[in-house]
Amino acid sequence: MASYDVIVIGSGPGGYVAAIRCAQLGLKTACVEGRDTLGGTCLNVGCIPSKAMLHATHMLHEAEHNFAAMGLTGDTPKVDWAKMLSYKQDTIDTNTKGIEFLFKKNKIDWLKGWGSIPEAGKVKVGDDLHEAKNIIVATGSQSSSLPGIEIDEKTVVTSTGALELGKIPKKMVVIGAGVIGLELGSVYSRLGAEVQVIEFLDTITPGMDGEVQKTFQKLLTKQGLKFTLGAAVQAVTTSDGKATVTYKLRKDDSEHTVEADTVLVATGRKPYVDGLGLEALGVEMTDRGQIKTNGHWATNVKGIYAIGDAITGPMLAHKAEDEGMATAEVIAGKAGHVNYGVIPGVIYTHPEVASVGKTEEELKTAGHAYKVGKFSFMGNGRAKANFAADGFVKIIADKETDRILGAHIIGPMAGDLIHELCVAMEFGAAAQDVALTCHAHPTYSEAVREAALACGDGAIHM
């Protein structure tokens, strides 16, 4: 029986980051992982492979639509599907091996197998029992399907199956216009599939800034995605490798069916805590099946902590990472901290969509007086040169103090641009602070500054 200061269960972005920080802080650390490779959903079947597919298909889109206008002529590239999938796999492999290297470097033991907690202070992996003064549950989440829909990961798939389809479907139905549905819907649309997205609500990407939602839907429609909103999917049946999706339009209760080669079910994810033994231990859960934690990521059972998708809050890799680092610090007797008010969210379509902080809708509901500064990428020279002038930057600031309350960007590199505003918000900056900061020309970042200027006396290039 080995004995550790900390055993982390799960090696996704929350778990492996927690393990590394624990080791850096001098704690004897092990991490339990049952997959063949480290990195969890994000590296193996989520964030990383989907970004590889988004990158490859964006390059194809550029070649098909913009190369000729730049004087780049010749045959448009053809898709070699097997090669594209092996590029995706190589991307996964270099990243998962990277984590293995970091574990070795930090002397973290990888306990291979699926872990459970038979009692506080003990972790069982296979037939081995290990002692741990502290346990961090970082087991992530799994796709949550709809009642009556059977996932076979071939014709009816979750994001996992969608990343390794045998061939590119002619027709794909995506259930759910959230992050996964729109990212993977974009991939297959760019590869030539006819993509129909069926969404229960009347808008895409629920919870996002309303103006961004509208622009985003318009741009995706222009790219060829078809949206059926306000529609509740009732059933999906399969026969001979084809699927039939039945849905009801909420406005008139009319029933419709649509056939597809592939159906992607992207209706959300739920915490993955099966088999850990939490119930027997008396670990308190929320009514949504998340592990309940206090402000220091501790559960109600002494010595057991939980982070990431398994607890409350947005299901985002970077939120899990931050919680992982903070929990390690708490265990080491330091002050771990996560600012939940400044966690960016990014959708890696083209254009990208990124947001942080409050939306206008949230501020209106709260009765908070605010002002808005907006700048279109049409006024940004670099974006125009790069055929990337669709979209805008929107900064929302307190009406009286000018303090930045939220930012929403749809446009080129939005997922990177948002961080300037995250840093500004962490420092409690006013929009004017960003407006007075010199921004290099010509960059996309100038659009951020212009939006900040628009919160005050006005943008220059608009």
Residue 183 assigned as binding residue:
yes
130 as an active site residue: the answer is no
Q: List alpha helices for 191-270, DSSP H.
A: 210-222
Question: Could you write out the DSSP letters of every residue in 115-172?
Answer: EEEEETTEEEETTEEEEEEEEEE---EEE---TT----SSSEE-HHHHTT-SS--SEE
CB 28, CB 6: distance < 8 Å: yes
Question: Going by C-beta distance under 8 Å and a sequence separation of 6 or more, which residues neighbour residue 112?
Answer: 33, 34, 125
Catalytic residue (choose from 65, 337, 441, 461): 441
End-to-end CA distance of the chain: 68
Q: Which residues bind ligand NAI (CB under 6 A)?
A: 146, 175-181, 183, 198-201, 206, 232-233, 266-269, 315-316, 346-348
Residue 428 assigned as binding residue:
no
Query: Minimum CB separation from ligand NAI for residue 178, in Å?
Result: 2
Shorter beta-carbon distance to ligand NAI: residue 268 or 277: 268
Residue 317 assigned as binding residue:
yes
Query: Minimum CB separation from ligand NAI for residue 459, in Å?
Result: 29
Residue 421 assigned as binding residue:
no
Residue 291 assigned as binding residue:
no
Shorter beta-carbon distance to ligand NAI: residue 40 or 121: 40
Cα dist. 461→375, 391, 430, 437 in Å?
Answer: 9, 15, 21, 16
Shorter beta-carbon distance to ligand NAI: residue 266 or 407: 266
287 by DSSP, 3-state: which? coil
Residue 115 assigned as binding residue:
yes
Question: Which residue of the chain is nearest ligand NAI when measured via CB?
Answer: 178
Cα 183 versus chain centre, distance: 10
Q: Which two tokens stand for residue 341?
A: 């008010």
CA dihedral sign, ordered 120, 123, 129, 133: negative
CB atoms within 10 A of CB 128: 13
Question: Going by C-beta distance under 8 Å and a sequence separation of 6 or more, which residues neighbour residue 319?
Answer: 308, 313, 338, 343
Count each helix (H run) and each strand (E run) in the chain, helices first. Answer: 14, 22
CB atoms within 10 A of CB 230: 16
Query: Minimum CB separation from ligand NAI for residue 144, in Å?
Result: 8
Residue 140 assigned as binding residue:
yes
Shorter beta-carbon distance to ligand NAI: residue 374 or 408: 408
Query: Minimum CB separation from ligand NAI for residue 145, in Å?
Result: 10
Shorter beta-carbon distance to ligand NAI: residue 117 or 233: 233
Shorter beta-carbon distance to ligand NAI: residue 43 or 179: 179
Question: Going by C-beta distance under 8 Å and a sequence separation of 6 or more, which residues neighbour residue 59?
Answer: 77
Active site residues per annotation: 441
User: Residues at the annotated binding site for FAD?
Assistant: 51, 115, 139-141, 309, 315-318
User: Residues at the annotated binding site for NAD(+)?
Assistant: 176-183, 199, 268
